[in-house]
């Protein structure tokens, strides 16, 4: 690699408020309860390095909730269904809710729309734990709820949506406006009344806008973070529209792209909301 490279690190790369709060709080819970089992239902955040670090502290991720257990069970930042909260309590765990405040707001808005008689459309990935929890909370108050990951997902519900007339929309916190806007345009054509609550979190919006700007001004973009992280993959999708882009989880993967890096004089670097600072620093250090 040459020494003439211009490397720009995004201002908003790395942990967002919700993720930092979750990670710091889980460490604190374990430190204050050294003799108790501390579990997280699922992965606290989508980052393998953080999960391994928490494991070294004695915090264990549970893939499946046992029928009987003891100690503390943390609900991760993506949230859970009301039914799952009950299951955790009934299993004998002490529940600690670390649902991200921004995700809580989406759940609350979804419930409000259903209670007010709107047909609810959740914009997001059906299989994502955040979306599953939003949907489960909304379904407690009505049956007219569906998830759309893209505008095409709505076409088969056209008659149903037209018949209902009043449609409400909430959005997965890590979604993009590029996904949301075509859905709004389509729903406008089939509804008498459309109420859209843009619940993309501010951190996500800033991160995505900065990724777009960096991509427009660099020969190569490097996106750092888990391949399972929705917000990180969205950053890569945005950057790809404007310049060459690679998505890596750690600095170890940079060697796979050595030729591409050598031929790029201006490199932009950003990272998902669940990517630790030391992982980002190692990438920048290796590039330099």
What's the pLDDT score for residue 3? 56
Q: How far apart are CA 52 and CA 56, in angstroms?
A: 6
> Where do the CATH 3.40.50.11270 domains begin and end in the chain?
17-100
Name every residue whose Cβ is closer than 8 Å to that of residue 178 and which is 6 or more positions away in sequence.
238
CA 150 to chain centre: 17
- CATH number for the segment(s) 104-196: 3.40.1010.20
> Where do the CATH 3.40.1010.20 domains begin and end in the chain?
6-14+203-287, 104-196
Q: What is the CATH class of 17-100? A: alpha beta
Tokens of 159: 């008659």
Q: How far apart are CA 6 and CA 259, in angstroms?
A: 16
What's the pLDDT score for residue 1? 43
**Does domain 6-14+203-287 bear CATH number 2.40.30.10?**
no
Q: Where are the beta strands (DSSP E) in 124-218?
A: 145-148, 166-171, 193-196
pTM for this predicted structure: 0.86
Instruction: Enumerate the active-site residues.
Output: 130
Q: Pick the closest to residue 135 from 79, 185, 196, 74 (CA basis).
A: 79
Give the CA count within 13 Å in the CB-facing half-sphere of 271.
28
Q: How far apart are CA 139 and CA 143, in angstroms?
A: 6
What's the pLDDT score for residue 5? 85
What's the pLDDT score for residue 2? 47
pLDDT, tens digit only, all 288 positions of the chain: 445 689 999 999 999 988 999 999 999 999 999 999 999 999 898 898 899 999 999 999 999 999 998 999 999 999 999 999 999 999 999 999 999 999 999 999 999 999 999 999 999 999 999 999 999 999 999 999 999 999 999 999 999 999 998 999 999 999 999 999 999 999 999 999 999 999 999 999 999 999 999 999 999 999 999 998 889 999 999 999 999 999 999 999 999 999 999 999 999 999 999 999 999 999 999 998
């Amino acid at each position: 690699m040459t020494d003439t490279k211009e490397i720009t690190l995004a201002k908003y790369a790395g942990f967002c408020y919700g993720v930092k709060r979750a990670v710091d709080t889980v460490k604190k819970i374990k430190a204050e309860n050294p003799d108790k089992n501390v579990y997280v239902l699922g992965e606290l955040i989508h980052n393998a390095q953080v999960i391994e670090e928490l494991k070294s502290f004695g915090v264990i991720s549970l893939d499946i909730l046992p029928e009987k257990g003891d100690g503390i069970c943390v609900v991760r930042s993506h949230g859970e269904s009301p039914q799952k909260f009950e299951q955790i309590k009934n299993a004998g765990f002490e529940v600690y809710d670390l649902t991200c405040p921004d995700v809580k707001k989406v759940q609350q808005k979804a419930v409000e729309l259903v209670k007010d008689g709107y047909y609810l459309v959740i914009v997001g990935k059906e299989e994502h734990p955040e979306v599953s929890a939003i949907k489960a909370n909304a379904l407690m108050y009505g049956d007219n709820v569906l998830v759309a990951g893209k505008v095409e997902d709505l076409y088969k519900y056209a008659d149903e949506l037209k018949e209902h007339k009043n449609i409400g929309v909430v959005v997965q916190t890590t979604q993009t406006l590029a996904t949301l806007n075509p859905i709004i345009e389509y729903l406008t054509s089939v509804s008498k009344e459309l109420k859209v609550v843009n619940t993309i979190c501010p951190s996500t919006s800033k991160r995505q806008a900065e990724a777009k700007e960096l991509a427009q001004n660099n020969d190569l973009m490097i996106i750092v973070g888990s391949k399972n992280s929705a917000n990180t993959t969205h950053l890569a999708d945005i950057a790809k529209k404007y310049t060459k882009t690679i998505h890596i989880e750690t600095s170890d993967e940079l060697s796979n792209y050595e030729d591409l890096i050598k031929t790029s004089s201006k490199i932009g670097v950003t990272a998902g909301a669940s990517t630790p600072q030391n992982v980002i620093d190692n990438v920048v250090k290796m590039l330099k």
